[in-house]
Amino acid sequence: MKFRDGMWLPIEGKRTEYAEDIYTATQRPDSRALSLLCPTKHVRSRGDTLNLPTVTLDIEAVFDGVISVETTHWSGAANKGPHFDLFPAGKPVDDAKISVSDKGTTISSGSLSATVHPDQHTFDVRFHATDGSKQLTSLLNRSIGFAYGPAPSSPLQLDDMRNFDHYIFTQTTLSVGETVHGLGERFGAFNKVGQSVSLWNADGGTSSDQAYKNISFWLSSRGYGVFIDTPDHVELEIGSERSCRVQTSVKGQRLKWYLIYGPSPKEVLYKYTILTGRAGRVSSWSFGLWLSTSFTTSYDEKTVSSFLEGMKSRDIPVEVFHYDCFWLKAFHWCDFVFDSEMFPDPKGMISRIKASGLVKKVCVWTNPYLGQASPVFKMAAEKGYLLKRKNGDVWQTDLWQAGMGLVDFTNPEATKWFTGCMEQLFDTGIDSIKTDFGERIPTGDVQWYDENVDPSKMHNYYSFIYNKIVYEALQKRYGENEAVLFARSSTAGSQRFPLQWGGDCESTPEAMAESLRGGLSLGLCGFSFWSVDIGGFEGSPTPWIYKRWVAFGLLTSHSRLHGSNSYRVPWTIDNDDQGEQSSSKTLARWTALKARLMPYLYAQAMEAIAGGLPLSVRAMCLEFPEDPTSWYLDRQFMIGSKLLVAPIFEESGEVEFYLPEGRWTNFFTGEVKSGPRWVRETHDFDTLPFYVRENTVLVLGKEGERRTVYDYVKDVEVRLYHVNAGAKANLVDSDGNSKGTLEVDSNNDLVGQDLLQSGTNVLVISK
């Protein structure tokens, strides 16, 4: 939201007050915080303190490299929840210090400090490395304040605030050349400078500025990040109101954010995920191919079996079969009852397809809504399980499901009932849940069961509660490390409940690129795992788009074939072409490649979780932050720290990508290229730019491996790419447990081969 009309004028309909002075700077007795009293005009005499608003700025040392900043106008305003669940694994010990010198008052939190200018009339708060090595950002003149809308003509009008909106804002400085990234799964330009961003979950597809996963965290190329500590509707002007500032605003009386210093982007994410939590471990089986029925297509047990048998006959193993919406009866979504006409024996059906060996796990689609046609609706309404209007009616809408209500998860009994529904699904043989929707949460005429929650804050936060409930139900049934979601909506902290997928994209190369940008941005917000609808959701992909998307999708952390009104089994795409470049052969090759990559992928997954990092798709700037080009690359990504991928978006197979500094080896051909440089290549459907970073010890499954779950230290292949002493690879088993480390010693010998069981083949690609 903009509050200025250019540099000089206020915007029409708003009145804005800016903090001008720092009248007092008071230390808290525990020396962990400074409280700055900031009048909205310069105070040069006692009389100036009258009829004058103030803003309070509280700066607190949180833990090493993290400082919080809270801006408050009227402190008596209620601070209703929900609030983010911070420090889920415990809070580190802080390292706080406050000192005063001729340069001002400095509060330090380990490696990060904030210095307040000593002149009362100079509003200047600088955030910098404690050792003085780097200036990060600042709060300067007219950088904090509040605004009213509409603009009052008299202060007496503000006695009744029901007629006014109150906004509070801060503006941090942007340096020359600084870029901004993250803020959730955003489908527009990767660098957010110049954009207005609204953090408000919406079901808007992948082709607009709306997003399913709005995350109130952004990462700067200068080595710091900012986490905005509210699930409320946050508006950001990122170099778009003032070109040299990032403005953050919310409706309300207070705004709190944390400044997190790296200095590397990996260190920033590590510290950010101390605040908000890290991804749970996902089982190795979940990395295999997921096959869906698609959305509105017609299917029954015979259809499902034919799909799975067709995949097996084409040498395409399916790990998980997913039943989308129409496992439920039309108009009954989502009462968790199988449509008895189409699936008269759901438990037997699931048992049969598992017993056939065609699939190991089964997933079903759910959402937190309940259509009024279902008999369950009446029960849920009578028991108070559904969100209500202020007059006591059940809140209902005809958008999506006729007369649907929304499960009120602030009611413990509603949560207990919903969890019970999950348990009944597990009893039927369901292993995983697709938690769809959760974005269209009303905020106007609603009354939650818990009267202490703010409906506006519940809009985004609902996705956290919804996914947490289902994830914990899965953990309770199957074990802590066996819970796997396929979630669409998220907010900060939702990375704890993997995994997330990219929503409703079209079957076009442009939408594939949009999806990649969304995955890259989400990964820079602490989300380790991400997937996408292979082939695109809306529409019917042409064979070339399908095959290019297959290559992209099988190199993301999780891989699912899913569509809207058309199937995604490969033989329906190209009339069952039998050629070597056919859809079926292409899918078989890329599925097999992912199976071979599992020893590397799963070891990297454990490292990604520990560091709060994305596994795949990982933005290039995380691995090469000192390369300015890496902060603009949004058509390629890393899988873990060692493998570079550039999806192909052209029918011709032409692709242009960037290799950072160092030697890079083509995985398929062994050809070596040196960076930094831009490269152009042309590929058939069985390859794409897939390069191995120098100094890599790469552990692969054996040639011809088709399974996702196997012994990752037995009959493996180890490749050495331009290795030097110290190059290493961590080994894990298929449960993610550490089995040791392979490491190149000072003689360029590979140490740790005794950890590998029979049949291991070591290939020196290049020393």
| Residue from 178, 229, 237, 439 carrying the catalytic annotation | 439
**What is residue 664's predicted lDDT score, i.e. its pLDDT?**
98
Would you say residue 221 has pLDDT above 80?
yes
The stretch 703-715 carries a mean pLDDT of 96
Residue 750's pLDDT band, with cuts at 50, 70 and 90, is very high
R_g of the chain, CA atoms, integer Å: 27
The stretch 710-730 carries a mean pLDDT of 96
Pick the CATH number of 284-367+411-611 from 3.30.390.50, 3.20.20.80, 1.10.10.10, 3.40.50.10110: 3.20.20.80
Residue 757's pLDDT band, with cuts at 50, 70 and 90, is confident
Residue 144's pLDDT band, with cuts at 50, 70 and 90, is very high
Coil, helix or strand at residue 465: helix
> Do residues 521 and 183 make contact, with C-beta atoms less than 8 angstroms apart?
yes
Work out the burial of residue 149: count CB atoms within 10 Å of its CB; fewer than 13 is exposed, 13-18 middle, 19 or more buried.
middle
Residue 31's pLDDT band, with cuts at 50, 70 and 90, is confident
The stretch 61-90 carries a mean pLDDT of 97
User: Which secondary structure element, helix H or strand E, spans residue 551, and what is its range?
Assistant: helix 543-553
Would you say residue 765 has pLDDT above 80?
no
| Separation of alpha carbons 389 and 412, rounded Å | 19
| Residue from 21, 241, 335, 436 carrying the catalytic annotation | 436
Would you say residue 717 has pLDDT above 60?
yes
Of the chain, the percentage scoring pLDDT greater than 90 comes to 97
Residue 170's pLDDT band, with cuts at 50, 70 and 90, is very high
Residue ranges of E strands in 626-755: 637-639, 643-645, 654-666, 672-682, 690-693, 696-700, 717-721, 728-732, 738-744, 750-751
Work out the end-to-end distance of the chain between its first and last CA atoms, rounded to an integer number of angstroms.
55
Would you say residue 759 has pLDDT above 80?
no
Place of tokens 């082939």: 535
Would you say residue 767 has pLDDT above 70?
no
Residue 379's pLDDT band, with cuts at 50, 70 and 90, is very high
**What is residue 183's predicted lDDT score, i.e. its pLDDT?**
98
Work out the burial of residue 289: count CB atoms within 10 Å of its CB; fewer than 13 is exposed, 13-18 middle, 19 or more buried.
buried
Coil, helix or strand at residue 97: strand
Is residue 504 annotated as a catalytic residue, yes or no?
Answer: yes
| Residue from 178, 408, 504, 574 carrying the catalytic annotation | 504
Q: Which two tokens stand for residue 527?
A: 């989300």
| Separation of alpha carbons 76 and 91, rounded Å | 28
| Separation of alpha carbons 717 and 735, rounded Å | 20
Residue ranges of E strands in 380-458: 405-406, 432-435
| Separation of alpha carbons 322 and 345, rounded Å | 17
| Separation of alpha carbons 112 and 127, rounded Å | 7
DSSP secondary structure string for all residues of 347-397: HHHHHHHHHTTS-SEEEEEE-SEE-TTSHHHHHHHHTT-B-B-TTSPBP-B
Q: What is the mean pLDDT of the chain?
A: 97
Would you say residue 253 has pLDDT above 70?
yes
| Separation of alpha carbons 518 and 530, rounded Å | 10
> Do residues 616 and 557 make contact, with C-beta atoms less than 8 angstroms apart?
yes
Q: How far is the CA of 310 from the CAs of 315, 367, 652, in angstroms? A: 9, 30, 29
Q: Where are the domains of the chain?
A: 15-74+118-165, 284-367+411-611, 628-633+644-766
Q: Is the dihedral of CA 560, 566, 569, 575 positive or negative?
A: negative
Topology given in CATH for the domain delimited by 628-633+644-766: Immunoglobulin-like (2.60.40)
Give the residue from 27, 57, 28, 25 showing the smallest Cα distance to 40. 57
Q: Give the full edge-to-edge strand order of the sheet including 637-639.
A: 637-639, 643-645, 690-693, 654-666, 672-682
> Do residues 347 and 362 make contact, with C-beta atoms less than 8 angstroms apart?
no
Place of tokens 């048992």: 351
> Do residues 91 and 109 make contact, with C-beta atoms less than 8 angstroms apart?
no
Give the residue from 380, 410, 411 showing the smallest Cα distance to 396. 380
**What is residue 645's predicted lDDT score, i.e. its pLDDT?**
98
Residue type, 205: G
314 beta partners = none
Place of tokens 């809270």: 70
In 214-300, which ranges are continuous DSSP H helix? 265-276
| Separation of alpha carbons 122 and 136, rounded Å | 19
Task: Answer yes or no: pTM beyond 0.95.
Answer: yes
> Degrees (nearest 5) of the Cα angle 758, 759, 765?
130
The stretch 209-230 carries a mean pLDDT of 98
Is residue 703 annotated as a catalytic residue, yes or no?
Answer: no
Coil, helix or strand at residue 173: strand
**What is residue 760's predicted lDDT score, i.e. its pLDDT?**
74
- Say whether 628-633+644-766 and 284-367+411-611 share the same fold: no
pLDDT in tens, 601-611: 999 999 999 99
Would you say residue 758 has pLDDT above 90?
no
Residue 79's pLDDT band, with cuts at 50, 70 and 90, is very high
| Separation of alpha carbons 341 and 210, rounded Å | 38
User: Which secondary structure element, helix H or strand E, spans residue 500, and what is its range?
Assistant: strand 500-501
Q: How far is the CA of 647 from the CAs of 204, 591, 644, in angstroms? A: 24, 16, 10
pLDDT in tens, 464-481: 999 999 999 999 999 999
| Separation of alpha carbons 521 and 702, rounded Å | 34
Residue 30's pLDDT band, with cuts at 50, 70 and 90, is confident
743 beta partners = 728, 751
Residue 762's pLDDT band, with cuts at 50, 70 and 90, is confident
Q: How far is the CA of 11 from the CAs of 6, 20, 40, 323, in angstroms? A: 8, 19, 18, 51
Is residue 408 annotated as a catalytic residue, yes or no?
Answer: no
Q: Which two tokens stand for residue 171?
A: 């503006």
Would you say residue 766 has pLDDT above 80?
no
| Separation of alpha carbons 596 and 704, rounded Å | 8
**What is residue 372's predicted lDDT score, i.e. its pLDDT?**
98
Q: For 550, left (φ over 0), alpha (ψ -120 to 50), or beta? A: alpha
97 beta partners = 108
- Output DSSP code: residue 486: E
User: Which secondary structure element, helix H or strand E, spans residue 559, and what is its range?
Assistant: strand 559-561
Residue type, 472: E
Q: How far is the CA of 161 from the CAs of 119, 155, 157, 304, 319, in angstroms? A: 35, 11, 8, 59, 57
Q: Which two tokens stand for residue 610?
A: 């520990």
